[in-house]
Amino acid sequence: MADTLAVNLNERSYEISFAQEQSAALREIVTQLRAAGRKIVVITDANLAKHQPDFLEQAVGDAPRLVFEAGESTKSLESLGLAWDFLAAQRVDRSGVVIAVGGGVIGDLAGFVAASWLRGVDFYQVPTTLLAMVDSSVGGKTGINLAAGKNLVGAFHQPRGVFIATGLLNSLPPREFAAGMAEVIKYGLLGDAALFARLEKSPLTVDSADLPQVIKRCCAIKAGIVQADERETAKEGGRALLNLGHTFGHAIEQVSGYGVYLHGEAVAIGLVAAAQLSRKLGHVSQSDAARIETVLQAHHLPVRLREPLAVGELMAAAARDKKVRAGLPRFVIMQALGTAVTRDGIEPALVRECFAGIGAVE
């Protein structure tokens, strides 16, 4: 039987459903929507279509599908245009429903398609990677990347429901599972010291008995933050805390070229840089920073750039980050392991040092 978690946002409230298997629950939703005369379309990726064809068939049946190649490069203007043309060809009206079945890339893209089609239609999130389950499928942030920066174009558009089927993780490639662990570790660092301690004790794997509980805990942390600051407008803290490691990580993704690093891999390196920044500002110790690197490495994540990138290019990318305020980058730092705050006015020299600390060159 499915476990549930509510995301309370007044008329935009919805439930996250957790179970080993979700195809029957999804098929019931599809049946109900069709009985109400609503057109359903599915946006998914080629990897899922190849490795989980039975799940797709059982969950959405013969609903029209648009299949994209997996990878960050799919979050593009070109893909957005193809998706709009697909919805037009399927004659999706304002009662139509988009179902996103895939990882974070598909969820972000399909969510923005739903947000922008006819000024907004309903959509459901069916995350199939660990990263999407613990982070990107919850909270209603949708968008695509531009050459100028990651997620610069998008919308806040809450799903009508999120269906997490943990059994799908059994076919997830190890590198993708590791990438999702970067976000799990992030949640421990920003808001749950006990979670971080659990990850220090032993690596979380797809076979860990407590994996479903950890996934739900991450979703609960995010739901609480989103409920308090849905559109990231808080002057301090708020939803911006979820970006711990991301200002550095997004810069790495952009400068290296989308797809060189998986999002979680870039975030992992970004967490190391954020730990260094927190240490330089006098909040965490060198031993704490080392503990963060140890946990990341235990979960098969990188802690340094694989190839050097130019500090100047990374600084320029950070300056274009969507979290910039009054022309200045905004960073999330750790006050301690398990507690994070937002900070403006960081000296650029300190940021340069942190980029150099992860292997960037002047």
Q: Which residues are catalytic?
A: 119, 141, 183, 222, 232, 239, 243, 246, 250, 263
CA 265 – CA 103 distance, rounded (Å): 15
- Cα 322 from Cα 327, distance rounded (Å): 10
The torsion angles phi and psi of 123, rounded to 5 degrees, stand at -150, 160
Distance CA 304, CA 295 (A): 14
For residue 150 the two structure tokens come to 């990651």
Chain-centroid distance of CA 178 in Å reads 13
The first and second tokens of residue 289, run together, are 């920073």
Helices (H) and strands (E) in the chain, counts: 14, 11
Phi, psi of 143 (to 5 degrees): 165, 180
User: Token pair for residue 50?
Assistant: 């190849």
Residue positions counted in the chain: 362
Radius of gyration of the chain (CA): 20
